[in-house]
Amino acid sequence: MTSTAQAPQSGARTAHPEHLGHVIFIAAAAAMGGFLFGYDSSVINGVVEAIRDRYDVGSAALAQVIAIALIGCAVGAATAGRIADRIGRIRCMQIAAVLFTVSAVGSALPFALWDLAFWRVIGGFAIGMASVIGPAYIAEVAPPAYRGRLGSFQQAAIVVGIAVSQLVNWGLLNAAGGDQRGKLMGLEAWQVMLGVMVVPAVLYGMLSFAIPESPRFLLSVGKRERAREILAEVEGKETDLDARVAEIEHAMKSEHKSSFKDLLGGSFFFKPIVWIGIGLSVFQQFVGINVAFYYSSTLWQSVGVDPSDSFFYSFTTSIINIVGTVIAMIFVDRVGRKPLALIGSVGMVVGLALEAWAFSYDLVDGKLPSTQGWVALIAAHLFVLFFALSWGVVVWVFLGEMFPNRIRAAALGVAASAQWIANWAITASFPSLADWNLSGTYVIYTVCAALSIPFVLKFVKETKGKSLEEMG
């Protein structure tokens, strides 16, 4: 008999914990890594010009310092699954918290440009680890009935981190008299901006001591009674705990700790399910979402928007991002993951196509014509809204749920690593593409969004309401 047939016997699929607030706290604590990703990705946007001035470097070298953290992210994501399977999910979080803290301190006190780049790689490694362990841990501890909403905490934390970093940067900039290199607490303002990340990094580490280890990891190392206690804590007493433990153990019986080798197979190197995970990750980035967060101020200024207004538009974009994420959290378990992804893809195609149309017009006195300017602004917010209420959330939920137990950690690591590499490709290529043809760049992003529709329809299976043991 398969684990799928056993699933209803434990009552796990309909279980409701007596203390839902505690389960929410557990998921929120694990998602702090997402907050740090959002914070770090956005905070660097506020210090670019200060770094350029301080070290007197050109755009090419500066771009590498900005983008190099994403390479660290890819390495961290690729190795996190193996680390988590060896020493546990919580220990993996604690290692990431230490790396975040070290990176924040080092970035705030660099000796030279190469030194700053090194600390950004360290921070990127931590972000990559957190991006894998967060969704995997939440998927393993969340009751199936709530798993989609709790899994969406990862993306919610990212968008809140983006907004908070912008507010912190704005506050510190004003405290320094509007000068990124102005003195603040004995340092230049931009150094303080980077150093403030110590606060959420330390908080992430402290929270990791307040949440339980994953029941599945505990069972894998023979700690059966502790796993049973945690299952009772997070899934509720109405669940038949003996049956639930037996269900998970049955699913794990023929398994071994997942490794890269386990992902190989099929006609094209990886197993088909791994390619689907990679495809979701790549499409999430190739629609150009991070252009809206890494380059938004530069983008708006390039079409004639006043610098102060460009900062305001960047902030409103982050608010729209939060609103869309909340919508996704409400509907991901009601509507399902696949329908949300399709709705989002259609909306993104419309928003990106309108931006491409608006940017195709020549500037008049250094600005877009009035109509095209307003269309570009509204379309940019529309694009971010549809991304946030769909792909921003459902990809993380899918990656935490879609893989069979025997390969989940390793497969999630490869998929997340692909996501960071795709992120790096978009981040590094946008300035050159925009110089070539800004409208053409957005046509490319529109095509990618359009291609995501048949990809989801043909290859992606719904995971709503299924226990992890039903994934194979």
DSSP 227-281: HHHHHHHHH-TTS-HHHHHHHHHHHHTT-----GGGGEEEEESE-HHHHHHHHHH
Q: Are 216 and 192 in contact (CB under 8 A)?
A: no
Q: How many CB atoms lie within 10 A of CB 3?
A: 21
Number of neighbours of residue 308 by Cβ within 10 angstroms: 8
CB 155 within 8 Å of CB 392: yes
**Residue-level pLDDT at 340:** 93
Give the tens place of pLDDT for each residue, 1-57. 333 444 445 555 555 666 778 888 998 999 998 898 888 878 887 777 788 788 888
> What local confidence, expressed as pLDDT, does residue 1 receive?
34
Q: Please tell me the total number of residues recorded for the chain in this structure.
A: 472
d(CA 418, CA 280): 10
pLDDT at 6: 41
What pLDDT is attached to residue 230?
A: 83
pTM of the shown model = 0.73
In the predicted model, residues of the chain with pLDDT beneath 50 are 1-8
Q: Residue 256's pLDDT is what?
A: 53
pLDDT value, residue 342: 95
In this prediction, residue 214 carries a pLDDT of: 86
Q: For tokens 């398969």, what's the residue?
A: 2
- Residue 454 confidence (pLDDT): 96
